[in-house]
Amino acid sequence: MSIKHLAVSNLLNYHVVMTRPLALITGASSGIGAAYARLLAADSDFVLVARRADRLQDLAEQLRKAGAAVEVLLADLATREGIAKVGDRLGFGDVRVLISSDVDPARIDDLLTLDAEAHVQLVRAALPGMLAADEGTIVTVASLLAFGAGQTGPRPPRRTLCTAAKAATVAFTRTLGHELADTGIRTQVVCPGPVATEFHQGLARTVPGAMTAEDVARAGLAGLRLGETICVPGLEDQSAALDALLGAESAVLSGGRRSDLASRYR
């Protein structure tokens, strides 16, 4: 090997050893987003996104003590301006981990903007840099509600739009994962049940058996190591349930793709 090659490879080794991947986390000022940041603190640098500056600065201080470089980016992701601001930051192309842990909109009209569109726009902004590096991790936080459209029974308020938004996030992330299969980019959608956070004024804290935000983030990160593209933190036999889901989807998809009407319509 020539000296030039040796120098370059030493430089690369130095670079690899010294550089921590940059993770951009939305919803980082509390709950699941903050839990991800704390769990990744030993290995990552961060861009932390939310609206509350004081909360983000407190977390940033904790993460810096663990050796991380941290940027705080204030943005309201219920607005197109806020999404564009975060998209601009992602456009620098240096973010290798995107954790899109979206949020509780103040107005019902914002629900689909915030919960479904923000994920799409942020992923779109992050992808060119990840594709250029052929490396990246994209995590969206959805909910078990994504699988709840067929369920009847007592419903909390705003369930219809929540279910639609979360189902959109699951479909988006799953399909994206297939499109990126031959790249170095991994995708995962995390679907927790009730989590004891500040969400909905801490509503889930009153639900017996609510999970902690730390456990949700821990499950998501462990699931990534296991190669899971869907992570349901509380689901014991996940692969059997997801195989059954895929089987049901395939039956509808292949059975319905015909030129003639089903016999009951003739």
Query: In the bound complex, what is the minimum distance in angstroms from residue 3's beta carbon to ligand NAP?
Result: 50
- Residues 6 or more apart whose Cβ sits within 8 Å of residue 232: 144, 191, 192, 238, 241
Site string for ligand NAP, 97-126 (x = CB under 6 A): ----xxxx---------x------------
Distances (CA, A) of 66 to 30, 36, 42, 149, 213: 18, 14, 6, 42, 20
Enumerate residues 200-239 that contact ligand NAP by CB under 6 A: 204, 213
Q: Please, which residue, 27 or 87, has the CB nearer to ligand NAP?
A: 27
Query: Does 195 interact with ligand NAP (rule: CB under 6 A)?
Result: yes
Pairing of strands 95-100, 136-141: parallel
Binding residues for ligand NAP, rule CB under 6 A, total 31
Query: In the bound complex, what is the minimum distance in angstroms from residue 39's beta carbon to ligand NAP?
Result: 14
Distances (CA, A) of 188 to 219, 229, 257: 11, 4, 28
Q: Please, which residue, 112 or 133, has the CB nearer to ligand NAP?
A: 112
- Position closest to ligand NAP via CB: 31
Say how many C-beta atoms besides its own lie within 10 A of residue 229's C-beta: 17
The one segment of 87-95, 125-133, 197-205, 234-242 that binds ligand NAP by CB under 6 A: 197-205
Q: Write the DSSP string, 162-231.
A: HHHHHHHHHHHHHHHHHHTTTSSEEEEEE--S-B-SSHHHHGGGGSTTPBPHHHHHHHHHHHHHTT-SEE
Helix, strand, coil shares of the chain, percent, nearest 5, are 55, 15, 30
Q: Please, which residue, 105 or 129, has the CB nearer to ligand NAP?
A: 105
Which residue among 87, 129, 136, 194 contacts ligand NAP (CB under 6 A)? Answer: 194
Enumerate residues 48-77 that contact ligand NAP by CB under 6 A: 50-52, 55, 75-77
Q: Please, which residue, 104 or 117, has the CB nearer to ligand NAP?
A: 104
| DSSP code of residue 145 | G
Nearest CA to 203 among 135, 143, 127?
143
The one segment of 24-32, 57-65, 179-187, 241-249 that binds ligand NAP by CB under 6 A: 24-32
Query: In the bound complex, what is the minimum distance in angstroms from residue 194's beta carbon to ligand NAP?
Result: 4
Q: Please, which residue, 22 or 190, has the CB nearer to ligand NAP?
A: 190
Say how many C-beta atoms besides its own lie within 10 A of residue 210's C-beta: 17
Enumerate residues 122-141 that contact ligand NAP by CB under 6 A: 141
Q: Please, which residue, 135 or 215, has the CB nearer to ligand NAP?
A: 215
Stated as kind and residue range, the H or E segment containing 236 is none
Helices 118-133 and 80-90: crossing angle in degrees, nearest 10, is 10
Interface ranges with ligand NAP (CB under 6 A) = 27-33, 50-52, 55, 75-78, 82, 101-104, 114, 141, 143, 192, 194-195, 197-199, 204, 213
